[in-house]
Structure 1
């Protein structure tokens, strides 16, 4: 940490000595279209050779401009160019923003001759999916649905809207993958702002980093990270939509921004409302040992039933007020977020257990402040700061006296609560504080540094109304503090054909566990307050070599850590005990891949991306179910994971777009002995259970422009997904007949959309799982069958 401070001081101090000597002016600004930043746009002073291109944020800066009058030309293939006469004064730092309009006559060659932000990211040294969400703006999908179609990603949902989900990325899943919104950790945003809630209209693109994560995200991620990029660049727009469909499902979303160009003041707002009864048909499936039986006329009969007590609602709103393009700030913004969630819990780990009364009500409030400044203190240094504090309150009553069946009726039985065998009314209060600082220093066009620091503090407290629970470990707050710092150096060689980034990360954890339950040497449970504090170091590198403009290879490596979470250390206060001896997970992650794009003609574009990945993960954190009084989390020796993924794309002008991707992964246990014994573990070398190991997707889009009128577009979208069967439990335990499987899945979706007036108005109809397949992401937890939705959207810029 001391060395990081020295390096930062060095970066800041030396250029400051010469900044006052710079008398020449500079011209800078952002180039955007209606959807956000444009990467690779040209900014040129007419009649000279002075010019630059925009970076991934659409930002450009022309340095050392002599005083005088100029014509500034802004251009990008596929868009109408802009020319502006400017007068530059001595020492002036002139800032100008530009929004380009689409040039329909040039659209057919955009993907061939220009590189968008998503293309540039895919062709970086990191193994990353960059998903442009423009193609999904007219669908009623949430972000989980979009991610589930991308290479290397599998999202497993327990049911319909709002259900629990598990996110798997190249064989690592759950908390091993971190999630961000504009680089800010989503763990601070509450459950209402989860991937299964956020509509596609609120985001511009999604970045999925696999195994190796850049330091600017500040993540303790073991398996990778997902970063959602919202529309921040467009100065004025309004996007409103509403959809309605099966199971009384409603999705409404609105986002907008207004900027006063004279003062730089702006207001932006995002809001959405999701609701569903989730009363889809549960089909009895004896073949899968998932028969549904109900009592009718005193007899137990098998039949299909509608789900009940499964409703879900989430409502969220965010409003921000800020200022842009000032001498002291490129952007300063104050934002307030409020969210409210209601969820009816219906099943346990499988659909065999039916829950009829338990609910979870959550309210979330978070104010934030954001600041960004280019040429911060000195030229070439960009600083961004973020800080937030949040309060999340949850109310979970579990006071049932009845045992429920799929008939929807309860029968009186001597039970105490439905979840834990004890009646309770819990009120949880989670508080989180987050601070982030990032400094990016561009020495010259080929050398740059990035320094990032991320601090988070989490506290959990709970009260219980009934007083039956005698051992509430959350009567006093349990706390976790995390520090993640990183520094990276990037070098470009051979006219930027070779890009290399090396980085190092520092992790620190401080936790206080109140009344920690532990098993003593005399075989009794004891309690005491416990503290834990540890530091760890990670490191890595990423490189890309572009052999030709369209063909390149890349490789990346990281020794990564994932620090412990609150529930893993604290327990849940009821039947999951704390484990202060729990160690963080760590892994050595390697990616090797390449990309190739080629044209048969200017109308036919082909793309191919392939990669190999290897993960050597140690100290896996896993859950040990109760064999007596308490369950707990513990460390597993680890696993080795290797696999390949492939994506192929074909585009014919703006008429047809087809892509197919597939992922194969082999994750095997490396635990030689049973925990804390010298007994050989029979599962050593087995494939890790309850995890998909082969899955594939296919997507087809056919669109026709100027249907019935100029500027209108009719588009048909088809998608299919295949998931091979996989075991629920270890292969070496039990006979072939007794081994439970999650069956092979093949599902198909279709959507038809029509937009008019260059996309200002649109209507879309879509059908998910139109063949009405029986789908199971998890063992004996049936997903919805066929469902249909209609969406109306209005967009103006």
Structure 2
């Protein structure tokens, strides 16, 4: 309550100060091109010293103007300058908008120096990394591989292409971090649209918010959020690529747009297809208790073996059609996404459990609508809304008759299914609906209010085709509904030196759960239906202060919640039971950092360092019971703090280099065993099975017009380091018995050549150049050295 009083007083005081300072004559407006606002455009009254720049929303405001006639000039590099005559009178408030056209000649002949969207985000109050993926378009990387090179991010994959992975950000991981595609939540997209499927060509930029998430994303994120931004600005382009490499891995991608300038009609077509046998060699490693055991002539021997049941295929197609630059809509589009997935399951939780017949298939369909309008109903109000519904059907088949090992199919041991001792074919249907509406109102050049509403509904039904499993709790839909409302106020003071945003979030959660309570000989499985409804409040702030135009300090704080997910609440209908008493996770997140960014002639230096702290409780943990069913429960508390830093340097278009490192300490803060007064033996221990020291180094050297005009040759080298870490708690067992994941140092190299001004591109890559034996998870080996080639065609 005290926080809300302080917040209210701050907002009222700021309004009063700004109102008192306003002059009697005000000239304001917006600057944009045909599709988007222009940030950083220059506004000048000809013959005077009165001028300003447009803010991030394309808005400007001029004050301290005497009555009279003026010429107002608007200019921005890469656009044709525009001027208008205005006549202002005493106490007049004049509103005037400008629509600039791109200067194609200027764009083709000069290098543009200025603040990119990435730089603007870095200078906001939020702790955020931004990755410009356009520089990586000629590589074979997916978004997971790109993100894994960013400061504070660690992605742990269980194997090769399409394998399950765990995303960690500043010590919080998994579902505690939320993912978005152009602001649309990805939590209900299914496995075929995950980060390790999406090729780099389909993204223009990736924003990584750490700890504190802005209200416009509408996220119930505990530890941060990742927003993948696609190209929404280029009016006509075609980007097509194909790559092939080790383990019979092929990846094709297409991204295109056509816009008719006269009618405003727009078409977007994109898609990808990925396939891999994933038949890489599993190397025997008894030193770290990760042997490969093969049955040969009725004897178990330890030797290398090749994976044989790990093929993976995923396909996605997306089509959007709509209109732009209309009086009633800046942009409106109708879209349709279809994707499918086939995945063979090779191992269980470790490589000691080998499967040979289990597989998963998925089909996903999502229609959507997007609408955006500036000056919606009143001047300065921008509305941006997205709505979608989706259906995801999956099938898990487990009908093997034999036990499998690394030597292949067993000869004598007969079984009925590999997962649970019974043959099964489970069919699941997930229905989801999502609405996100954002209103941003510009009060004046220094103040704005943002209101965001997000609604998500998820329902899951399932059936077992063979009739062998009687405990199915998905015979009727289990459902979850989330409503999240966020309100933020942003103020810019001291001539853009102090930027502050304060916000509050309201979370409403409701669910319907069918719970398998117990089994009796008379009644078979007894089921109980439960409905629940809860709400929660979060709040926070983010501020940035500039010491100079190139250096500043940022501080942010949020009391955040992460609401329960479907499997955590419902179970999975096979071997994970429901828990209707599960509570959401919550955390107090603090970030503090410094940044410096400066250009000296053709030299560009950038340094960023930050400290983070997370005080999290009600952690949702998976509890294996040893019986038929396991479940999720709230048992965890943790305190996480750490530091991270990144240094970047570039020279002209010849050299780029960066190095980053992250160190964190995540300790168990659970003093007593759950529900008891028995001390927890691991209280104060570092949380196991979690990297705590890791870093990346990247170097790129390129040269334009080396062989002929319009060409570029580029060489990139990247190195990733992960320090060793324990698998189990430090307080349990002797040092000799503590399994650990070894230290790893992996090098990757890529060489690309572009000609005809980037129209044609060819590249070659080597991943894990030194053939390092790598693990992200204990006893789940990743691929060794691999080679890939990529062809890319790009026009606009």
Equivalent position SS for 1:188: coil
Query: 2-side partners of 1:94 and 1:604: how far apart?
Result: 34
Contact 1:176/1:224 (CA < 8 Å) preserved in 2?
A: yes
Residue 624 of structure 1: aligned partner? 623
Contact 1:517/1:578 (CA < 8 Å) preserved in 2?
A: no
Residue 80 of structure 2: aligned partner? 82
Query: 1-side partners of 2:286 and 2:493: how far apart?
Result: 62
Shift of the 249–423 alpha-carbon distance from structure 1 to 2, 3 Å rule, reads same
Query: 1-side partners of 2:557 and 2:573: how far apart?
Result: 39
Residue 731 of structure 1: aligned partner? 730
Query: 2-side partners of 1:544 and 1:534: how far apart?
Result: 34
1:89-488 paired onto structure 2 within 5 Å:
95-98=99-102, 106-107=110-111, 114-488=114-488
Query: 2-side partners of 1:462 and 1:682: how far apart?
Result: 41
Cα-to-partner distance string for 1:41-61 (whole Å, 9 max, x where unaligned)? 44668778787645557x467
Cα-to-partner distance string for 1:292-343 (whole Å, 9 max, x where unaligned)? 1323344433322211110111100100001011111101110000001110
Q: Does 1:547 align with 2:522?
A: no
Correspondence for 1:30 among 30, 33, 36: 33
Equivalent position SS for 2:735: coil
Query: 2-side partners of 1:371 and 1:340: how far apart?
Result: 27
Equivalent position SS for 1:737: helix
Shift of the 105–269 alpha-carbon distance from structure 1 to 2, 3 Å rule, reads closer
Residue 741 of structure 2: aligned partner? 742
Contact 2:471/2:525 (CA < 8 Å) preserved in 1?
A: no
Further displaced range: 776-785 or 127-136:
127-136
RMSD after superposition? 2.8
Shift of the 405–68 alpha-carbon distance from structure 1 to 2, 3 Å rule, reads farther
Further displaced range: 648-657 or 67-76:
67-76
1:604-623 paired onto structure 2 within 5 Å:
604-623=603-622
Query: 1-side partners of 2:42 and 2:705: how far apart?
Result: 30
Contact 2:558/2:590 (CA < 8 Å) preserved in 1?
A: yes
Residue 694 of structure 2: aligned partner? 695
Shift of the 357–696 alpha-carbon distance from structure 1 to 2, 3 Å rule, reads same
Further displaced range: 549-558 or 727-736:
727-736
Query: 2-side partners of 1:331 and 1:713: how far apart?
Result: 36
Residue 718 of structure 1: aligned partner? 717
Equivalent position SS for 1:568: helix
Query: 1-side partners of 2:130 and 2:384: how far apart?
Result: 23
Query: 1-side partners of 2:86 and 2:718: how far apart?
Result: 53
Contact 1:722/1:746 (CA < 8 Å) preserved in 2?
A: yes
Cα-to-partner distance string for 1:717-745 (whole Å, 9 max, x where unaligned)? 00000001111111111121211111111
Equivalent position SS for 2:408: coil
Query: 2-side partners of 1:88 and 1:408: how far apart?
Result: 82
User: 1:24 Cα shift?
Assistant: 9.4
Query: 2-side partners of 1:693 and 1:404: how far apart?
Result: 36
User: 1:67 Cα shift?
Assistant: 14
Shift of the 154–200 alpha-carbon distance from structure 1 to 2, 3 Å rule, reads same
Query: 1-side partners of 2:357 and 2:103: how far apart?
Result: 53
Equivalent position SS for 1:98: coil
Residue 15 of structure 2: aligned partner? none
Query: 2-side partners of 1:407 and 1:796: how far apart?
Result: 49
Query: 1-side partners of 2:311 and 2:430: how far apart?
Result: 24
Equivalent position SS for 2:144: helix
Query: 2-side partners of 1:100 and 1:124: how far apart?
Result: 31
Residue 20 of structure 2: aligned partner? none
Query: 1-side partners of 2:33 and 2:49: how far apart?
Result: 20
Contact 2:515/2:577 (CA < 8 Å) preserved in 1?
A: no
Cα-to-partner distance string for 1:158-187 (whole Å, 9 max, x where unaligned)? 000000000000000000000001111111
Residue 18 of structure 1: aligned partner? none
Residue 17 of structure 1: aligned partner? none
Further displaced range: 289-298 or 787-796:
289-298
Query: 2-side partners of 1:418 and 1:648: how far apart?
Result: 49
Shift of the 48–316 alpha-carbon distance from structure 1 to 2, 3 Å rule, reads farther
Contact 1:45/1:73 (CA < 8 Å) preserved in 2?
A: no
Residue 672 of structure 2: aligned partner? 673
Cα-to-partner distance string for 1:441-484 (whole Å, 9 max, x where unaligned)? 00001010000000000000001111111110001110000011
Residue 765 of structure 1: aligned partner? 764
Contact 1:516/1:528 (CA < 8 Å) preserved in 2?
A: yes
User: 1:701 Cα shift?
Assistant: 0.6
Shift of the 397–159 alpha-carbon distance from structure 1 to 2, 3 Å rule, reads same
User: 1:70 Cα shift?
Assistant: 8.0
Query: 2-side partners of 1:323 and 1:88: how far apart?
Result: 32
Runs (5+) with no aligned partner, structure 2? 13-24, 88-93
Query: 1-side partners of 2:305 and 2:577: how far apart?
Result: 37
Equivalent position SS for 1:575: coil
Equivalent position SS for 2:616: strand
Shift of the 44–101 alpha-carbon distance from structure 1 to 2, 3 Å rule, reads farther
Equivalent position SS for 1:82: coil
Cα-to-partner distance string for 1:202-252 (whole Å, 9 max, x where unaligned)? 111100000000000000000000001100011111111111111111111
Query: 1-side partners of 2:315 and 2:234: how far apart?
Result: 25
Q: Does 1:538 align with 2:542?
A: no
Contact 2:621/2:636 (CA < 8 Å) preserved in 1?
A: no
Query: 1-side partners of 2:132 and 2:648: how far apart?
Result: 14
Shift of the 23–263 alpha-carbon distance from structure 1 to 2, 3 Å rule, reads farther
User: 1:411 Cα shift?
Assistant: 3.1
Contact 1:393/1:430 (CA < 8 Å) preserved in 2?
A: yes
Count of residues in Structure 1 that have an aligned counterpart in Structure 2 = 764
Query: 2-side partners of 1:534 and 1:49: how far apart?
Result: 57
Residue 500 of structure 1: aligned partner? 500
User: 1:525 Cα shift?
Assistant: 9.0
Query: 2-side partners of 1:322 and 1:391: how far apart?
Result: 23
Query: 2-side partners of 1:237 and 1:43: how far apart?
Result: 31
Contact 2:515/2:570 (CA < 8 Å) preserved in 1?
A: no
Q: Does 1:645 align with 2:644?
A: yes
User: 1:191 Cα shift?
Assistant: 1.8
Residue 784 of structure 1: aligned partner? 783
User: 1:674 Cα shift?
Assistant: 1.1
Contact 1:516/1:530 (CA < 8 Å) preserved in 2?
A: no
Residue 16 of structure 1: aligned partner? none
Cα-to-partner distance string for 1:511-540 (whole Å, 9 max, x where unaligned)? 1001343799xxx99631111211000000
Equivalent position SS for 1:220: coil
Shift of the 658–274 alpha-carbon distance from structure 1 to 2, 3 Å rule, reads same
Shift of the 56–200 alpha-carbon distance from structure 1 to 2, 3 Å rule, reads farther
Residue 557 of structure 1: aligned partner? 557
Contact 1:538/1:558 (CA < 8 Å) preserved in 2?
A: yes
Query: 1-side partners of 2:109 and 2:686: how far apart?
Result: 53
Cα-to-partner distance string for 1:109-130 (whole Å, 9 max, x where unaligned)? x5xx521111111111000101
Shift of the 314–43 alpha-carbon distance from structure 1 to 2, 3 Å rule, reads farther
Residue 655 of structure 2: aligned partner? 656
Query: 2-side partners of 1:788 and 1:578: how far apart?
Result: 44
Residue 793 of structure 2: aligned partner? 794
Further displaced range: 63-72 or 118-127:
63-72
Query: 1-side partners of 2:501 and 2:754: how far apart?
Result: 43
Contact 2:40/2:53 (CA < 8 Å) preserved in 1?
A: yes
Shift of the 99–158 alpha-carbon distance from structure 1 to 2, 3 Å rule, reads farther
Query: 2-side partners of 1:464 and 1:123: how far apart?
Result: 53
